[in-house]
Amino acid sequence: MSAYVLRRLLLIPLTLFGIILVNFVIVQFAPGGPIEQLLAETQGSAVSATARFSGQAQGETVGGTRGSDPTRQESLYRGARGLDPAYIARLEAQFHFDRPPVERFLTMIADYATFDLGESFFRGQSVLDLILEKLPVSISLGLWSTLIIYGVSIPLGIWKAVRDGSRFDILTSWAVVIGYAVPAFLFAVLLIVVFAGGRYLDWFPLQGLTSANWESLTWPQRIADYLWHMVLPVSAMVIGGFASLTLLTKNSFLEEIHKQYVVTARAKGLSEGHLLRTHVFRNAMLLIIAGFPAVLVSMLFTGSVLIEVIFSLDGLGLLGFESTMRRDYPVMFGTLYIFGLIGLLLAVASDLTYHLVDPRIDFERRDT
């Protein structure tokens, strides 16, 4: 198994290289860019995502006439009308757009190898510091949500499998499916209206992970304050996460319960509890464990974007979204690099968990 894990770890850099390369190529063809954003801020106007090269596509001249004096050459940026070309050149040098794309990509890859993620174009802060600053928020949301989903769905799915077809099974199936059908952001708004002073009750805070006086609280009070702030956003995130895992758990256990070895063990007089713990659980949990990395990564980096916006939580999801909108390329690629690295490491951890749950599964032997 150690040789298999080593091979998987050695494949991670190559996989990350491919992920970053594909996204880098896509960005080169995407309209708009950080220079357009800065020009818009400089001139106090908004620039659309299709600003760059739109003038050239229609044959219009910007900042000069084609074939005119070379000192009044055409600008690539519609937002640069009336600006000094030397100023535009300084901006391109500042953002390293005066260098060929291949050179910029190779430099970025070399820096990423040492975890030098560069500096944000607009925040004046290193990307790594930004990620470390926002990471606790995303970890709080993702980890608590994943633990609650697994902590509720697995026992519920097992109990539904044991009582398949009963009234309890039917009612809980309706409940989890309805919860799955409700969008997380809509449920978040409902929670705010009902429990956060929107209209009825004022039991929970509306924003942030801690109160303004958090530093002056004792440690027990800090823990209580943190959990108090987490109730609503975590509730909004987990409402739709129970259905798929609960039904997957139920179906996995139902399949194992009806297998011949379980029927034989039951005929020998083994109790249902002993059968579930020692025989069924280990085999039925394999599919559930396989999905853990995907669930955790989804909760950490993708499922929390709208929740972070609604509850004013400054996490990685919101950081990545804002960076994409502003074309802050160092932050975009830095977060992509961290997301990809964590996802690949969790995939390896999932394989190791497979082996721990059932030692008969040996990926190394399968590869040979």
Q: Coil, strand, or helix at residue 202?
A: strand
For residues 86-107, average pLDDT: 74
pTM (two decimals) = 0.70
For residues 312-324, average pLDDT: 80
For residues 255-272, average pLDDT: 77
Asked if pLDDT for residue 106 goes beyond 50, the answer is yes
Q: Which two tokens stand for residue 281?
A: 């659980």
Residue 196 main-chain phi, psi, to 5 deg: -115, 35
Query: Under a CB-based contact definition with an 8 Å cutoff, are residues 275 and 189 in contact?
Result: no
Residue 358's pLDDT band, with cuts at 50, 70 and 90, is: low
Query: Under a CB-based contact definition with an 8 Å cutoff, are residues 188 and 233 in contact?
Result: yes
What separation, in Å, do the N-terminal and C-terminal C-alpha atoms of the chain show? 11
Amino acid 14: pLDDT: 92
Query: Under a CB-based contact definition with an 8 Å cutoff, are residues 146 and 288 in contact?
Result: no
Q: Start-end ranges of CATH 1.10.3720.10 in the chain?
A: 128-367
CATH number of 128-367: 1.10.3720.10
Residue 38's pLDDT band, with cuts at 50, 70 and 90, is: low
Q: What is the pLDDT of residues 123-134, one digit of tens each?
A: 778 888 888 888
For the chain, strand residue ranges (E) read: none
Chain-centroid distance, C-alpha 162: 35
Amino acid 302: pLDDT: 61
Give Cα separations from 33 to 76, 92, 238, 328 (angstroms): 11, 11, 36, 8
Residue 366's pLDDT band, with cuts at 50, 70 and 90, is: low
Asked if pLDDT for residue 188 goes beyond 80, the answer is yes
**Cα–Cα–Cα angle for 76, 82, 85, nearest 5°?**
55
Amino acid 17: pLDDT: 92
For residues 356-365, average pLDDT: 67
Query: Under a CB-based contact definition with an 8 Å cutoff, are residues 229 and 211 in contact?
Result: yes
Q: What is the pLDDT of residues 7-31, one digit of tens each?
A: 888 889 999 999 899 988 888 777 6
Amino acid 48: pLDDT: 41
Hey, how many other C-beta atoms are within 10 angstroms of the C-beta on 294? Answer: 13
Range ranked top by mean pLDDT from 86-95, 175-184, 271-280: 175-184
Using CA atoms, how far apart are residues 60 and 56, in angstroms rounded to an integer? 6
Query: Under a CB-based contact definition with an 8 Å cutoff, are residues 255 and 287 in contact?
Result: no
Largest alpha-carbon pair distance within the chain? 97
Mean pLDDT of the chain: 76
In sequence order, which residues have a C-beta less than 8 Å from that of residue 21 and are 6 or more positions away?
105
Residue 99 main-chain phi, psi, to 5 deg: -110, 155
Q: What is the pLDDT of residues 331-357, one digit of tens each?
A: 888 888 888 888 888 878 877 777 776
Task: Look up residue 278 and give its DSSP letter.
Answer: I
Using CA atoms, how far apart are residues 241 and 179, in angstroms rounded to an integer? 8
Amino acid 294: pLDDT: 66
For residues 45-50, average pLDDT: 43
Asked if pLDDT for residue 35 goes beyond 50, the answer is yes
Element (H, E) at 336: helix 329-357
Using CA atoms, how far apart are residues 206 and 311, in angstroms rounded to an integer? 6
